[in-house]
Amino acid sequence: MIGVNQKASELPLTPQANEQVREYNQDFAKSLVEQAQILAYGEELDDVSARHINQAYNIITKRPKRAPWQRHFLFFGGTITGSAVLAFADAVSNDKKVMTVVSAIFVVLGVIAGILGGLRPGSD
């Protein structure tokens, strides 16, 4: 039995689809060369090597994934901040000084956790 992927790969492209593929390939090739040139220029070299092309390809195609700890920090930071803001508002309106301070601390901690969780992947 022929697999679904093999069957799908046998489907012909329409002329418009072929043209679109050519355009995307040209755009990708231009982006790839430009990125490789930037890398070579950054190293103060006179020409672009295959290594630069490979690095450029990795930069363009590989989207860094957020680490699990970042996802957790982002989730819990948002949750803590949202809950603490409500508690802070309630404490201030009811003139509860200790609760106001405690909830303010949690607001700050939640914001810090959210910021840490929201950092771009790969930025340390």
pLDDT in tens, 85-122: 999 999 999 999 999 999 999 999 999 998 988 886 65
CA distance 72 to 56: 31
In this prediction, residues 11-29 reach a mean pLDDT of 93
Residue 16 CB: number of other CB atoms within 10 A? 8
Contact assessment for residue 70 and residue 122, using Cβ atoms and an 8 Å cutoff: no
pTM here is 0.48
Question: Cβ neighbours of residue 36 under 8 Å, at least 6 residues apart?
Answer: 48, 52, 53, 55, 56
| Of 90, 86, 91, 84, nearest in space to 105 by CA | 84
